Amino acid sequence: MKPVALITGGSRGIGRAIARELASTHHVIATYKGRRDAAETLRAETGAEIFRCDIASAADRQALLEFVRQRFGRLDLLVNNAGMAPRERRDILEATEESFDEVLAANLKGPYFLTQQAARWMTELGGGRIVFITSISAYTVSVNRGEYCISKAGLSMAAALFAQRLARSGVLVFEIRPGIIRTDMIAAVEKAYEEKIAGGLLPQGRMGEGSDVARAVRAIADGLLDYSTGQILNVDGGFHLRSL
């Protein structure tokens, strides 16, 4: 039987690229929250299962894992990819509690507790792999979207915590930190990013694509990093490098 991969936020952007990458070797379940049409086209293209799930909702998380359990009886790979940007970018001196709560619930609380449930199940099964898709925003300041940066920094720590806790159980945990990736999330500021890249922001000189992140997940899914639990993979065109 093919291994089973659950990808949250799998109908668009980075998640969609990951789903397409894994579909040839895994049974893929891709969650979506709003755009069912995008999820349906993914299913038509790849044969992936789709499941509507608001990761911020405890009831939805429970229903999602129950669906996977009933449909496949196992879970080999969890990719925590679902997330959101603030609905409106605001300077941290003007940001609202409502935005903070919404972003933290979707980007940090949701995947934290989904992973808790999935990890218990994987431990019963004897092993598995978990990936957290974070961001260069885990350590890079953007003062007009502080809640997003904080959520990704917290998610980075969550990856380390679960990696430490689960290592002896055979459940391996990894963090992937994408850089500037061409998705609809950055569409409004894509031109500005392109100008910065042209000015030398990225050592490799180009914006990333969803497929770049998907190939990093592929390496994890294929077991190529199985002695590297807790590893952080920077998929950022060299952004993380420091030079004088």
The set of catalytic residues is 148
Which is it for strands 77-80 and 128-133: parallel, antiparallel or unpaired?
Answer: parallel
Tokens of 75: 């879970």
Q: How far apart are CA 232 and CA 237, in angstroms?
A: 14
Q: How far apart are CA 195 and CA 239, in angstroms?
A: 15
Q: How far apart are CA 131 and CA 43, in angstroms?
A: 22
- Sheet of 27-32: strand order equals 49-52, 27-32, 4-7, 77-80, 128-133, 171-178, 232-235
Taking Cα atoms as reference points, which of 109, 133, 117 lies closest to residue 57?
Answer: 109
Q: CB burial class (10 A; 0-12, 13-18, 19+) of residue 98? A: exposed
Helix runs in 23-145, H state only: 36-46, 58-72, 97-104, 110-125
Print burial letters for 18-30: b (CB count within 10 Å at least 16), e (below 16): bbbbbbeebbbbb
Q: How far apart are CA 101 and CA 205, in angstroms?
A: 35
